[in-house]
Structures are given as C-alpha cells and as structure tokens.
Amino acid sequence: MLATPRANRLHIAILGRRNAGKSSLINALTNQDIALVSAKPGTTTDPVFKAMELLPLGPVVIIDTPGIDDYGELGSLRVQRSQQVFNRADLALLVIDAARGLSDFELEIARRCKELELPLVIAVNKVDLGPDEEELRQAVKQQLGVHPVLVSAKSRFGLSELKQEIIRRAPPDWDDVSIVGDLIDPGDVVALVTPIDSAAPKRRLILPQVQTIRDIIDHGGISFVVRESELKACLAALQIRPKLVVTDSQAFEMVNSVTPEDVPLTSFSILYARYKGDLAALTAGTKAIETLRPGDIVLIAEGCTHHRRQDDIGTVKIPRWLNQRAGGELNFHFCSGGGFPDNLGEFKLVVHCGACMLNRRQMLWRIRLAEESGVPIVNYGVCIAYLQGILQRALSPVSRNSLSGREGEENGWVRFPEAF
C-alpha cells in the first residue's frame, strides 16, 4: 500500500532489435539483475513490466520488450505485443547495437514515436566494442533526428548521461495532472460519498477514492467521507458549505436528491474521465446512447480484472440500464485488463470504466482508437449520469477546466445538447 500505484508511474518502453542489449541496459540503469540477459537473440519473449525507482527521476515502470525484428509466426505475435507497448508508454528508449548500426527498424520506431508524439531517447549501446563513435552519432542524428547517448551496459559508460536525457525528455506534465486539486482552494471542504454495498471491498476503500482523498489533502483541502445514507445529516451538521460533493456513480440519483442545488456535485468517474482521459470525448459519446437499438453491439471495457460480485456495475447494471433505454436486448461484448480490441468498427458504443488501473496515455490511446474507428465512447460515470438525467449537473463543476476546445464550446464553456 505504500508503493506508488503503477498507473501513476512514468512508463518507459525499452525498444530495439534483438540482442541490442535492452535487458542488459535495464539491469545497468537500475543496478539490479531484474531482466534476463543472454547472447541468444530473442531472449525476452513478452513485454515485462517492472515498477522501480529510477533515481533521480522517481517512480517509473520500465517495460522490457522483445526484439522487434523478430520473424516467423511466434515472432509476429511478439512484434504485435511490443507494438502495444507504444500505446501505454510515456517515453520510448530506443537501444541501438553499436556493432550493427542503423536499419529500417530504428527508422520505423522513430517514425512511430513522432506520429504518436512520444518522446524518444536513443542509446547507442556496446560502445565498449570500439565502434567509430563519431560516425554513429552523426548517422543517428541525421537519419532519426535525435542526438543519441553513447553507452555501454557492460562497462556502465554513459549511464548517468542517459538518465539525465530521460529526465530531460520526460513529458513535463506526466505527474502533474490533479484529480480535484484545480477545483478547490486550500481550506475548502469536499464531501466524498462511497456506498458500502455488497460490491464494496471489505474494510478498505477503492483506489479512486483513496487517490482523491490524497489529492484533496495535497491541495490543502478538507475531505470527509460518508455513505450516501449519512450525507444528508452530514451536510446539515456542517458549519460551512462544501465546495464540492463527489459521489460514486452508483449512488448518483440518491446523492443528487439530497445535495442542495447550489452545492456542486460530480462523481469519481467524471473526475477520472478528465484525470485519465479526455472528458470532452467521453461526454460527446453520450449522444450515441439515444441511437442504440436492440441487437446493436456494445463493448463494455474495464481496465483490470477485478473480482465481480452480484449486481456488478459493468456486467450487470449498465447493461440492464442500456437495454431499458434501447427498448430491448443489446448485444454486449466485454473486455478487461490490458486487452482492448484493435478493430472497434463493429461496435455501436464503447462504455469504459474509470480506468484507475490504466495510465493516462493508455486511456487516451483507447479514446483515440475509438475516435479513429468512428465509434462513440463514454465512461461509466458519464453514462450513468446521462441515463439518470443529471449529466449537466455532474459536469458543471469540471466543465470550465476540461471541456474547452471541443465542438459546442462557447466562451470556454460547453453548450450541452437539449437532451442533457
């Protein structure tokens, strides 16, 4: 519980051809024997995620990938898995074997990084073998457009320069997005509502709740946490008006009815929609809910494979409510964890969970994939608030900060369609 959750760590993907020394470099950078090294090409067969402290950068996840020049049927599966790493990386570290120089693979990686706006650091490894350093440096700069760092995982040459380069190229805002911090001032009171029903884990709060509490504390706010049944009494007992009420989406209707109209109300899912993803895109997706007809295929996507209880939100409640709205049985498909279909074209709508276990980049990639496939996407909180007719209220505390720049914008605020 003391560790930084994986989803909040900078994700560094180590890419390169087989045998370039990717795993060796990870071991050298972290000073640990955590990645399997061998002279046999193709040693790393699947992406391996390792959470660690990379000082002085802080908590990171290093993703060791199989060599991407792999061939054969198994090889192409490995290549596919390595490519998926692109979708969650915050930064790519491309390792080039100094003895082998540049090839089309490195050019392709540099091209993809540019396309995905993924910061790229290049390490030319094995310089202990005595290649012509200057010639290599020039070739990389010229062909890939990035100044490489010359290193040797074996002799440990160039490691601190490489770390400095990683820090320099890390996206400046990767750990700077707050959940509620920008919505409150020091001293503000925030009420958090967490239903303790059969779906709630025993004797603990779930990650979005814990992280929201921590964010409030970090920004000098005051939080109190209650069940929906205690909220009314709690609000009445308070000497000051809360700046915000945040509820679990499942208790939205009840909390909406007891929260005075002049007190802003939103949900954990809506806060997470902008923290992890793109709230405007997830809100725009609600328009598709009205067009759903019996038989339409809907994807319910969850970011982890948690234990499902009776009346589970993703597999039971949301399908039930959407069926009611569509006037008949929709055809639901489900995916969870790291899996997400590449081809979304067959779906009429994607309904995604709050994504607390995914990193921001991964969720943004999923939203982008949906947009590119022309498939509307919403998240649980936005979907539930819409179905209950309270989306306008739930969005208003966050709309100024998160919804600008999209269609319908007016002076930084969004005009909601009539249906809201």
Ligand X SMILES: Nc1nc2c(ncn2[C@@H]2O[C@H](COP(=O)(O)OP(=O)(O)OP(=O)(O)O)[C@@H](O)[C@H]2O)c(=O)[nH]1
Binding residues vs ligand SF4 (CB under 6 A): 302-304, 306, 353-357
Among ligand SF4, ligand X, Mg ion, none, what binds residue 250 when CB lies within 5 to 8 Å by partner kind? none
CA–CA separation, 334 vs 347, rounded Å?
Answer: 11
Nearer to Mg ion, 28 or 313 (CB): 28
Q: Are 25 and 153 in contact (CB under 8 A)?
A: yes
- Does 211 engage in binding with ligand X (CB under 6 A)? no
Answer yes or no whether residue 286 interacts with ligand X by CB under 6 A. no
Q: Which is nearer to ligand X, 22 or 219 (CB)?
A: 22
Q: Which is nearer to Mg ion, 23 or 362 (CB)?
A: 23
DSSP E strands in 169-310: the ranges are: 189-193, 222-226, 244-247, 265-267, 297-302
Each residue 3-42 as x (binds Mg ion by CB under 5 A) or -, in order, gives -------------------xx-------------------
- CA–CA gap between residue 195 and residue 253 (Å, rounded): 12
Number of residues forming the site for Mg ion (CB under 5 A)? 4
User: Which one among 60, 153, 179, 395 touches ligand X, defined by CB under 6 A?
Assistant: 153
What CA–CA distance (Å, rounded) separates 205 from 91? 31
Residue 363 interacting entry, from ligand X, Mg ion, ligand SF4, none, C-beta within 5 to 8 Å by type: none
Binding partner at 302 among ligand SF4, ligand X, Mg ion, none, C-beta below 5 to 8 Å by kind: ligand SF4
Q: How many CB atoms lie within 10 A of CB 368?
A: 16
Q: Which helix (H) or strand (E) holds 394?
A: helix 391-395
Residue of 75, 72, 19, 69 whose CA lies nearest to 43: 19
Q: Which does 355 bind (CB under 5 to 8 A by kind): ligand SF4, ligand X, Mg ion, none?
A: ligand SF4
Task: In whole angstroms, give the CA distance from residue 358 to residue 343.
Answer: 20
Q: Before 66, cis peptide (omega within 30)?
A: no
Binding piece for ligand X, criterion CB under 6 A, among 149-157, 268-276, 332-340, 363-371:
149-157
Task: Name the amino acid, one letter, at 357.
Answer: M
Which residues contact ligand X by CB under 6 A?
A: 16, 18-24, 37-39, 41-44, 66-67, 125-126, 128-129, 152-154
